[in-house]
Chain A
Amino acid sequence: MLLIPCPYCGPRPELEFRHAGEAHIARPANPDATAAGAWSEYLYVRSNPKGRHIERWRHASGCNRFFNCVRDTVTDVIEATYPAGEARR
């Protein structure tokens, strides 16, 4: 079980959180003007790396906020967490 540092509440056990997929997948600003291929990519294509990964978590049993988390998918070491909307780390 991960120990996840919520940027708002501090370190909490994983069972308080819900995973919310890869981070920094921005919704296209003008969906109607987005080509089908690019839209499919937005919906379905994820990087799924072995190693450094930025993902979203929601502190479901806490502040209920979404935030971003830099985690190594091999070692599970969490490098940083930061509020949603901040620049990619």
Chain B
Amino acid sequence: MIVRQRSGTRLRFSFDGKDYTGVAGDTLASALLANGVHLMGRSFKYHRPRGVLGAGAEEPNALVDVAGPDGRSTPNLRATTVELYDGLRATSQNRYPSLRFDLGAVNGLLSPLLGAGFYYKTFMHPRAAWATLYEPLIRRAAGLGEAPRRPDPDHYAQRYAHCETLVVGAGPAGLLAALTAAQSGERVMVVDEQAVLGGSLLAERRATIAGQPAADWLAATLATLAAMPNVQLLPRTTAFGYYQQNLLGLVERVTDHLAAPDPALPRERLWQVRARDVVLATGAIERPLVFAGNDRPGVMLASAARTYCNRYGVAVGRRVVVFTADDSAYAAALDLQAAGVAVVAIVDLRPDPSGPGVVAARAAGLTVMPGTAVIATTGHWRVTGARLSSNTTLACDALLMGGGWTPSVHLFSQSRGTLRFDAARQIYLPGTPAQRQSSVGGANGVFDLASILAPLAVAGDIPAQGGFLGLVPGSRATGFVDYQNDVKAADILQATQEGFRSIEHVKRYTTTGMATDQGKTSNMNALAIAAAALDLPLPEVGLTSFRTPYTPVTFGSIAGAARGALFDPVRKTPIHPWAEAQGAAFEDVGQWKRAWYFQHIGESMHEAVKRECLTVRRAVGLFDASTLGKIEVVGPDAAEFLNRLYTNSWSKLAVGRCRYGLMLTEAGFVLDDGVVGRLAADRFHVTTTSGGAGRVLAHMEDYLQTEFTDLQVWLTSTTEQWAVIAVQGPRARDLLAPLVEGIDLAAMPHMSVREGRIAGVPTRLFQVSFTGELGYEVNVPAGHALAVWEALWAAGAPYDACAYGTEAMHVLRAEKGYIVVGQETDGTVTPEDLGLGWAVGKAKADFVGKRSLAMMDLQATDRPQLVGLLPAHLPQEGAQIVDRADPPIGSAALGHVTSAYDSATLGRPMALALLAGGRRRMGQTVHITTATGTMPATIVAPVFYDQEGARLDA
């Protein structure tokens, strides 16, 4: 019903397919109420018809799905916070087939079965039925909206900001705080979740401030703030999270309220604001009263009815009953009466209410019924009557509840401040803050406008005072405490009867306070009912934590631009374009894109890898190894530093020579490996695994900065400065020779490094092999790498050289038993386990991990050891190894397969494995688990090809 002229543009919208009109400034809820629509949803579990309870972010019932342009849809929006725009299409949720005829309402008949703990009790066994029966059933029967099925078409922005004072909440307390801070010239930000600033003043039509109507004072104050260059006002912005050192997360809704948004605008903007001081002016939320039938459409908070009347010009009914234990509901009664609504009676739980509201109500001729309760309601789609404790029933079409007010301490609590309980007023208030912050106004339990706005003169205010917590005396316990999760008083009582004493347990057992509204209207009643049942003072049952976000936040705003191609950086080597042009398949290795294999027309992947492997073994292949991590270790103590960081000994390594280095954690486990070349007495070229470069540098820096501070060493990451082209195969030297200047290739031994030029470009040329063939790794400045690669490729043509990818590289190295850190190791593997004891300088006084290697557990002889396996077929990497072909369930594994390939060179499948005491079991048969059973495999040494290493320096 409309109570006064609603000015503003007329807007068309639809709800569940039916067309309505509202006006600019409406929320979906106020527009539906203006059209006489109270039924806005079905409840979560029992599918009870529900109307709107509140008028703001606290709303638990009226959740809707709003369809935007181009198939967009957003579920679970509170109709009370959805701004109306022309063409808005909203649908109700959790009903099938329609809101009025909902098959799920049969759940209401099953309510004795669906009470507290039903998830735990009803569906305990059999477990398998969860996936096939219970879960799908529950998901259909109980639930909220439907997730959109398409990728989010909108974009989202993110901003960072700093200010001296951040004010959360633009009600009277927040505005006054902002004005005070702004007048000192500091940067001030004011954020408010609503479309317009003003908070409670937007619905205030009685009080005057400094002699003028509240609305006029509000307009003047907003104008003053808006004109100040140091003040930023952010409406439609929710402060949803309060983090350390006064960092607040805000989400600004930029376009959701627009019929035709500019596509250049982001849908939402996530702000991260670091403030010196924070003022929490987040207000308070009115509580419902708990009595039977308190959830019928038309039963709502008194303050909400007042807001709909005063702010939106909409009466929530023609004949209303007010049921209260708090003075502020009298203001609602008076305002509705003044707007022409029949106020049947004010039913007040208190035996002798006497505040200014009571006086005014009596003076206005309203019936006040003290010491009386509403204990039940009648009606189905809409409340039709309120049954009183005096055994009469008052006919009505709306019932307004004034249960008292709960300060919104959510953000204060998130900021780690400790709450204190005001026993006299039965409310939690901000206690000691943990950060530079203050709470003002309703959030601080100050409900009267005169105190909030002092020293400004305030008249005509009817402040909140009073309140009632718990189950209304005389009512059955079927009244709802948590509307959104359908938790009744009876459920809380049942939980306490079943032995739950802490509210943390009661909450989880009954799910009270665990819905998307986090119990904004229900937590205090739940606490009070539990406390009364346990005969404890309220604070002794505990208080559940307030968690971020205050209201639900979209994933889109948090993801921001980090989606799709921008989700994670993609690293490409300088040779990438060549590989791409050759049609290489790529694999992701960390953030790197690496050429996986080079498929010729008509080849399968298997055939391509086989060809690449055989070409390297027979002739020569080129491999892009640029992703290798590289660290330049320089300084007078460089060799000593490496002595301490690697298991190997470096002091005697001659300039121009290389060594395979093994790096351990202090616990003695392999951390990384790689070839290290000595370029000068005080300069080493260290390589790491592709994925390990950052970790290794951090590990080195840690010891250099904090433990080995006596050493003069400088570390520089050079991974992206040097590109690396591996040239491997019996013809590698022949291929390189014509292009190399200043290096005597023939005189270079295996494991050596020389500086010179290749294809006219400076190079560090390593003779090293990761294939078992004669091999080189050509390091060139990254900017020249593509040109050098192309020169080498051209030079390889006479030898039928191939380019090979990571797959062939893995097969070739596994044939030689060369480990890959992270594949053969998992953070629990020692050098001895890998058969790399030869790389450990046992005579060295110390190195990182040395002491740990001497620990008993690391010396045990039954540790997993690296072995080769010759299996019947190709096993899965990671497959368990067992002793018997038919291991009984519960058998312990002897180890697992770490690498497995079809070897073209061997003409059969082969594998590497970590196997308990494996080196003592050469020649024995073990069994590898498969999807269907096991397969036998023979244990062999982990080198399948050229055991003597004759080909390395051929």
A68, closest chain B residue (CB): B706
Which B residues are CB-close (under 8 A) to A34?
A: 851
CB of B216 within 8 Å of the partner chain: no
- Contact: B244 with A3, CB < 8 Å? yes
Asked if B820 lies at the interface with its beta carbon under 8 angstroms from chain A, I say no
Interface size class of A (residues with CB under 8 A): 20 to 34
A36 contact set on B, CB distance < 8 A? 855-856
A84 CA to B243 CA, complexed, in Å = 27
Contact for A74 among B243, B416, B707, CB less than 8 A: B416
* C-alpha gap A31/B709 in the complex (Å): 17
Q: Quote the shortest CB–CB distance from A32 to chain B (angstroms).
A: 6
A76, CB-defined interface residue at 8 Å: yes
Interface string of A52-88 (1 = CB under 8 A from B): 0000101010001110000000111110000011000
Which chain A residues border B845 with CB–CB below 8 Å? 32
CB < 8 Å: which of B272, B274, B702, B850 contacts A32? B850
Q: What residue in chain A is nearest B249 (Cβ atoms)? A: A1
| A58–B274 touching, CB < 8 Å | no
Contact of B434 among A1, A43, A58, A77 (CB under 8 A): A77
Q: Does A20 contact B (CB under 8 A)?
A: yes
Cross-chain contact A31 with B846 (CB below 8 angstroms): yes
- B245 within 8 A of partner (CB): yes
The residues of A that contact B856 with a CB separation of less than 8 Å are 36
Q: Is B554 an interface residue (CB 8 A)?
A: no
Among B199-257, those with CB < 8 Å from A are: 243-245, 247
Chain A residue contacts of B855, Cβ below 8 A = 36, 39-40
**B86 interface contact, C-beta 8 A:** no
Q: When the two chains form their complex, are residues A85 and B274 in contact, meaning their CB atoms are under 8 A apart?
A: no
Q: Is the CB of A3 within 8 A of B705?
A: no
Contact with B along A3-33 (1 / 0, CB 8 A): 1000000000010001010000001100110
B244 in contact with A58 (CB, 8 Å): no
Tell me if A1 and B698 are in contact (CB < 8 A): no
Are B274 and A3 closer than 8 Å at their CB atoms?
Answer: yes
Interface size on B, residues (CB 8 A): 26
Nearest A residue (CB) for B847: A31
Contact in complex: B702, A66 (CB < 8 Å)? yes
Residue of B nearest to A44 (CB): B667
* Contact between chains at B852 and A39 (CB < 8 Å): yes
CB atoms of B416 and A75 under 8 A apart: yes
Q: Are A65 and B705 in contact (CB under 8 A)?
A: yes
Report Cα–Cα, A40/B434, bound state, in Å: 37
Contact of B701 among A31, A32, A64 (CB under 8 A): A64
**Min CB gap B56→A, angstroms:** 28
Question: What are the residues of chain A within 8 A of B701 when measuring CB–CB?
Answer: 58, 64, 66
Decide if B666 is an interface residue (CB 8 Å cutoff): yes
Which of A14, A31, A84 lies in contact with B851, CB distance below 8 A? Answer: A31
Which of A14, A32, A60, A84 contacts B706, CB < 8 Å? A84
With a CB–CB cut-off of 8 A, which chain A residues contact B434? 75-77
Docked CA distance A56–B702 (Å): 10
Q: Mark B702-721, 1 if CB is under 8 A from A, else 0.
A: 10011101000000000000
Q: Which residues of A contact B667 (CB under 8 A)?
A: 43
Complex Cα–Cα for A18 and B697 (A): 13
Given A3-B244, A78-B245, also A85-B706 (CB < 8 A): yes
In the complex, are the beta carbons of B851 and A1 less than 8 A apart?
A: no
Chain A contacts for B243, CB-based, 8 A: 1
**Beta-carbon contact of A32 and B846 below 8 Å:** yes
Once bound together, how far apart are the Cα atoms of A34 and B856, in whole Å? 14
Cα distance A66–B702 in the bound complex, in angstroms: 7
A66 to B708, CA, bound (A): 13
A14 CA to B434 CA, complexed, in Å? 19
Residues on the A chain within 8 Å of B272, using CB: 1
Q: Is the CB of B851 within 8 A of A32?
A: yes
Output the nearest chain B residue to A27 by Cβ-Cβ distance.
B707
The CA-CA distance from A70 to B845 in the complex, in Å, is 35
CB-CB under 8 A from A2, the residues of chain B are 244-245
B854: chain A residues within 8 A (beta carbon): 32
Among A2, A75, A78, which residue has the most Cβ atoms of chain B within 10 A?
A: A75
Residue of B nearest to A32 (CB): B851
Closest to B707 in A: A27
Choice from A1, A43, A56, A64 contacting B247 with Cβ under 8 Å: A1
Chain A contacts of B846 at CB under 8 A? 31-32
Most chain A CB within a 10 A radius of its CB, from B245, B272, B850: B245
Give the distance to chain B from A21, nearest Cβ to Cβ, in Å: 10
B709 A85 Cβ-Cβ under 8 A: yes
- For B849, the closest partner residue in chain A by CB is A31
Given A2-B245, A3-B245, A31-B850: A58 touches B416 (CB 8 Å cut-off): no
Select which of A14, A32, A75, A84 is within 8 A of B705 by beta carbon.
A84
Residues in B neighbouring A18, C-beta threshold 8 A: 698
A85 partner residues in chain B, CB cutoff 8 A = 706, 709
Chain B residues, Cβ within 8 Å of A3:
244-245, 247, 274
Complex CA–CA separation, A28 to B705 (angstroms): 16
Taking CB atoms, residues of chain A closer than 8 Å to B244 are 1-3, 14, 76
In whole angstroms, how far apart are the Cα atoms of A2 and B243 in the complex? Answer: 8
Q: Is the CB of B851 within 8 A of A39?
A: yes
Chain B, residues 117-138, CB within 8 Å of chain A (1/0): the string is 0000000000000000000000
Identify B698's interface contact among A14, A43, A60, A84, CB under 8 A.
Answer: A60
Select from chain A the residue with minimum beta-carbon distance to B846. A31
- Could you tell me the distance between the alpha carbons of A32 and B849 in the complex, rounded to whole angstroms? 11
The smallest beta-carbon distance between B846 and chain A, in angstroms, is 6
Please name the residue on chain B nearest to A78 by beta carbon. B245
- Cβ of A65 to closest chain B Cβ, rounded Å: 6
Are B666 and A43 interface neighbours, CB within 8 A?
A: yes
A65-B245 Cα distance, complex, nearest whole Å: 22
A65 CA to B706 CA, complexed, in Å: 10
Q: How far is the CA of A27 from the CA of B244 in the complex (A)?
A: 32
Enumerate 12 A-B pairs (CB-CB under 8 Å) in ascending A order. A1-B244, A1-B247, A1-B272, A2-B244, A27-B707, A32-B851, A34-B851, A36-B856, A43-B667, A66-B702, A76-B434, A84-B706
Return the 6 tightest CB-CB contacts between A and B, nearest first.
Answer: A31-B851, A3-B245, A76-B244, A75-B434, A2-B244, A84-B706
A residues contacting B by CB (< 8 A) are 1-3, 14, 18, 20, 27-28, 31-32, 34, 36, 39-40, 43, 56, 58, 60, 64-66, 74-78, 84-85
Given contacts A58-B702, A66-B701, 10 further A-B contacts (CB under 8 A): A1-B247, A1-B272, A31-B846, A39-B851, A43-B666, A56-B706, A66-B702, A78-B245, A84-B705, A85-B706
